[in-house]
Amino acid sequence: MADVTFKGVEKTFGNLKVIHGVDIDIADGELVVFVGPSGCGKSTLLRMLAGLEENTGGEILIGTDVVNGLPPKDRDIAMVFQNYALYPHMTVAENIGFPLRMQGLTAAERKKHVVRAAELLGLESYLERYPRELSGGQRQRVAMGRAIVREPRAFLFDEPLSNLDAALRVQMRKEVKLLHRRLEATMIFVTHDQVEAMTLADRIVVLRDGRVEQIGTPEDVYRRPASTFVAGFIGSPPINLIAGTVRPLPGKLGLVPDANPALTFDLPEEFDFSSGQHITLGVRPENLVLVSPAGKQELEGKVVFCESSGQESAVTLDLGGLQLVSSIWGEEAPLIGNMVGVEIRAGEVLLFDERGIRVDPGVAEQEHRDFTDAE
C-alpha cells in the first residue's frame, strides 16, 4: 500500500485543456472519492493515475515514485471499470487469475489466490462460468476479485456502481466499504453520485471543470462547503441558494433577494458585510422549517410541489417568485396550494460572497481583500 500524490497535474487533449493543475494528497490506506458532474475531469484524473492517459503537466506520485510516463503494468495498481471490462473469452477463475498469470505465477499458486478472492466476494460457485452467464452484480464482483487478487499499492474504481440497479448499488457500496476496512488499502473511487461519495469517503474531492473545488471530509463538504458550487452539488434535495443584495435594516443588515425584492432575510450579526454588496445565502432544506398554518412569522409561502419518499418529504414553496425547498421528516406533508409559514433554523445559514466563495463570520471583507491581492 502507498500514498498517492497529484502535484500540479494538467491534461490537454489537442488544444483543449481539461485538467488545470490539480493538487491532491491521498494518505496511505485512505478511501478518497472524486466527485463532480460529468466532464469535470474525475475519470481523466483516475486514468492518468492508472497510466491509461498521460498527464501533460505536473507530477503523479505513487508512494515516493514519480510514475509519469510509466506504463500501467509497472505502476502496481488495480482498477475496476464502470463497464466491468471482464475478459469475455475467459472464465471467472481465469479472469480473476489473469493478473497473477501475467506475474508468472504457476497454475497451482494462482488457484490458491483465486479461490481466496472468490471466497471473499462470494463467487466460489461461479468460478467456471463465463462473464456472459453472470448477472450485473456478479460481474462487478468478478471485476473486484480481479483487483484484489494481488496486493496492489492502490485500488482505483471508475464509477463501478453506476450500471447497477438501485438496490444492488446500495449493497455493493457497503461491500466496497467493508473491503476497504478489511484490506486497509489506499482506494480512489470516482463517482458522479454525491450520495455514494458521502457514504463511502474518508475524504471527498469535489471537482469542477478540471479544477479542485474542495477537499474535505463528508462532514466538511456538507457543513462547510467552499463555494456555492459545492454547496449545490452535495446534498439531496439540494441546498436553497438565495442570491440578493445586502440592505441596512434598523440595527442590523438584511438580504433582499433578487427573485422577490419585497422580502428580506435577516443576516447574522457576526458577518461583516457592507450595504449594497451582492451575496448568496444558503439554507439546507432541513433547516427550513415549516410552521403551519401561516402565523406571525415574517415569511410565508405557497406549497407548489411535494415529493415524498416515505419518511422524508421535499416540499417546494413559492415566496412570490422565490422558490425554496424544505424537507420534513415523519410529518404529513402540507397540501399543494396551501399557505404555510417558513422559518430558518437559527444559525444554520451559509453565506457566500459575490464570487460564490463561502465567508466565515467576521472575516468576509478580510478574505476578499486577500483574494484580490493575490490576483
Partner 1 sequence: MTSPRRRRLDSVAGQVFKAAGIVALGIAVLFPIYWMAVIALTPTGFSRSLTSLVPAEVTLENFVTLFTERPMLRWLWNSIIVAAASSFLSLAFGTSCGYALSRLRFRGAGLVLILVLATQMMPATSIVVPLYILFRDFGLLDTMQGMVLGHVSLVAPLAIWMAKGFFDSIPADLEGAARIDGCTRLSAYWHVALPLAMPGLAAIFIYGFVTSWHDFLFAKTLINSQALWTAATGISSFRGEYFTLHELQMAAALTFALPVVIVFLVMQRRIVSGALSGSVR
Q: Which of 2, 31, 79, 246 binds partner 1 (CB under 8 A)?
A: 79
Q: Are 232 and 242 spatial neighbours (Cβ–Cβ below 8 Å)?
A: no
Interface segment toward partner 1; rule CB under 8 A; list 111-119, 130-138, 267-275, 280-288: 130-138
Closer CB to partner 1, 140 or 313, in the complex? 140
Q: Are 292 and 235 within 8 A, CB to CB? A: no
Q: Work out whether 163 is an interface residue with partner 1 (CB under 8 A).
A: yes
What residues between 310 and 339 interact with partner 1 by CB under 8 A? none
Using alpha carbons only, give the angle 289, 292, 293 rounded to the nearest 5 degrees. 150
Q: How far apart are CA 69 and CA 81, in angstroms?
A: 21
Q: Are 160 and 81 in contact (CB under 8 A)?
A: yes
* DSSP 8-state code for residue 126: G
Reported as half-sphere exposure (CB side, CA atoms, 13 A), residue 65 has a value of 13
Kindly tell me which of 1 and 85 has the beta carbon lying closer to partner 1. Answer: 85
9, 35, 45, 78: residue in contact with partner 1 (rule CB under 8 A):
78
Contacts of 164 (CB under 8 A, 6+ apart): 136, 137, 140, 172
Per CB under 8 A, 73 contacts partner 1? yes
Q: Pick from 18, 98, 264, 343 the residue near partner 1 by CB under 8 A.
A: 98
Which residue's CB is nearer to partner 1, number 98 or number 273? 98
Q: Is 69 in the site for partner 1 (CB under 8 A)?
A: no
84 scored as a contact of partner 1 (CB under 8 A): yes
Q: Is the peptide bond preceding residue 237 cis, with omega within 30 degrees of 0? A: yes
Shortest Å distance, C-beta 352 to partner 1:
39
Kindly list the strands in the beta sheet with 4-13, ordered across the sheet, starting from the edge strand earlier in the chain: 16-26, 4-13, 57-62, 65-66
**Distance between the two ends of the chain, CA-based, in angstroms?**
39
Residue 290 binds partner 1 (CB under 8 A): no
Per CB under 8 A, the segment of 68-76, 208-216, 231-239, 310-318 that binds partner 1 is: 68-76
For 20, the grid coordinates are 488545470
- 77 lines the binding site for partner 1 (CB under 8 A): yes
C-beta separation of 218 from 207 below 8 A: no
Cα–Cα distance measured from residue 39 to residue 13, given in angstroms and rounded to the nearest whole number: 13
Q: Which of 54, 66, 103, 219 binds partner 1 (CB under 8 A)?
A: 103
Could you say which residues in the range 28-47 bind partner 1, by CB under 8 A? 47
Residue of the chain from 83, 275, 308, 366 that contacts partner 1 (CB under 8 A): 83
Q: What is the CA radius of gyration of the chain?
A: 25
Query: How many residues make contact with partner 1 (CB under 8 A)?
Result: 32
C-alpha cell at 249: 435594516
CA dihedral 241, 244, 250, 251 (to 10 degrees): 60
As measured in angstroms, the least distance from the Cβ of 268 to partner 1 is 49
CB nearer partner 1, residue 136 or residue 361: 136
**Contact residue for partner 1 among 131, 216, 257, 285 (CB under 8 A):** 131
- Contacts with partner 1 by CB under 8 A lie at 47, 50-52, 71-73, 75, 77-79, 81, 83-89, 98-99, 102-103, 130-134, 136, 139, 146, 163
